[in-house]
Amino acid sequence: MPPAGSAASEPSIAVQAIAVRRGEIAQVIIAPGSVVARRESHIGTEVTGRLLRILVNEGDRVDAGAPLFQIDPGPYEMAVRQTDAGLDLATAEQRQVESDLERARALRKQQVVPQQELDRLLTQLAVSQAHVRQATEALALARHNLERTIVPAPYAGSIAKRLVDEGTTALVQPQTIVVVIQETAELEANAAIPESQLAGVHIGDTAVVSVEGVSDPVKTTVSAVSDTIDPATRTYLVKARVPNEDRVLKAGVFAQVEIQPQPKRGVLLVPRDAVRTEDGRTRVMVIQDGRSEAVVVEIGLLSDQVAEVVHGLSEGMPILVGSAARTIASGMRVHVADAAAAEPRP
């Protein structure tokens, strides 16, 4: 122990200090990412046949419902005519049975026709009605298949690939992919965020997407935050919709995504230069009974100027800042050069 009276003779070092205060903090997160199409569809056919016409080329822009290509409709037009004739035949047979049944009922009242004949005609009518329903459904299916010989765009977009030419025989199983369409009027920025910033991003946060070669960054909002961490990269996926009505951006380009989360309010804050890391521990130097004391703290969010203290300090505690925070050792006698500076800020 130092001899009695040595504390009084020990020099006191003038330091800069500030009180721990409550306030708000937001940590900007910058991550690499890419701009991709929100939707990409590989368009094939529902019916088999020879590709008669392909109406689009790579790079074409199409509206929703615009025809993309056509399968030879000839066999399907014949199927419609055949099933239509089948329906006419079934309908005629039903009418004949109905007429026979009407006459049989009249004769039955005169006891000319036995009940067994009436029952037979009733059964025959039920069968003929079933044949009409069956023929009606067959005609509907034939017309449906004929309609499917012209394949429309499922949504407005751009043709990314044209994979076959006219004359190709399109198969259903395995399906022949004819064109690939991408939605391009609105793209999507995907960014991989480190798991250390797990709680920092929420749907609705501001996001700024910058692409090399495009002068103006796109300001948007976070539209989705993944619930899972990629075990290989220890990151989670964040998505933001990117308007692209002028088609300046191209799907697949690399981008830098800057996410500006909503600030946390009412948290304990200290200047960043007051925080130091030694021996794997994060410390802040406080003033206790006229001496410096290293206190282990847990840090939350970081901004350019301040750090959030999750555990270790309380509001109003005086802490060393400036060069003193980096050079003063624990246990040294100190005094605040400007006492007013240590008062809590409003």
35: domain CATH number is: 2.40.30.170
- Examine the fold and report which residue of 202, 232, 264 is the final residue of a domain before the chain moves on: 264
The boundaries of the domain holding residue 298 are 10-24+265-342
Q: What is the mean pLDDT of residues 135-157?
A: 96
d(CA 225, CA 194): 12
d(CA 106, CA 110): 7
118-134 confidence digits (pLDDT tens): 889 999 999 999 999 99
Same domain for 331 and 204: no
302: domain CATH number is: 2.40.420.20
* Residue 4 resides in a domain: no
DSSP states of 106-160 as a string?
A: HHHHTT-S-HHHHHHHHHHHHHHHHHHHHHHHHHHHHHHHHHTTEEEPSSSEEEE
Looking at the 3D structure of the chain, how many domains does it have?
4
* Residue 203 resides in a domain: yes
| φ and ψ at residue 266, rounded to 5 degrees | 70, 25
- Examine the fold and report which residue of 240, 264, 288 is the final residue of a domain before the chain moves on: 264
- Examine the fold and report which residue of 233, 264, 295 is the final residue of a domain before the chain moves on: 264
Highest mean pLDDT among 144-153, 169-178, 278-287: 144-153
Between residues 92 and 117, the one the model is more confident about: 92
292-331 confidence digits (pLDDT tens): 999 999 988 888 889 999 999 999 999 999 888 888 888 9
Looking from the CA of 286 toward its CB, the CA atoms found within 13 Å total 17
Report pTM. 0.65
Identify the H or E element spanning 103: helix 74-109
d(CA 234, CA 32): 14
d(CA 181, CA 41): 5
Spatial contact of 51 and 167, defined as CB atoms under 8 Å apart: yes
* Residue 331 resides in a domain: yes
Spatial contact of 68 and 179, defined as CB atoms under 8 Å apart: yes
Determine how many CB atoms are found less than 10 A away from the CB of residue 37: 21
d(CA 37, CA 39): 5
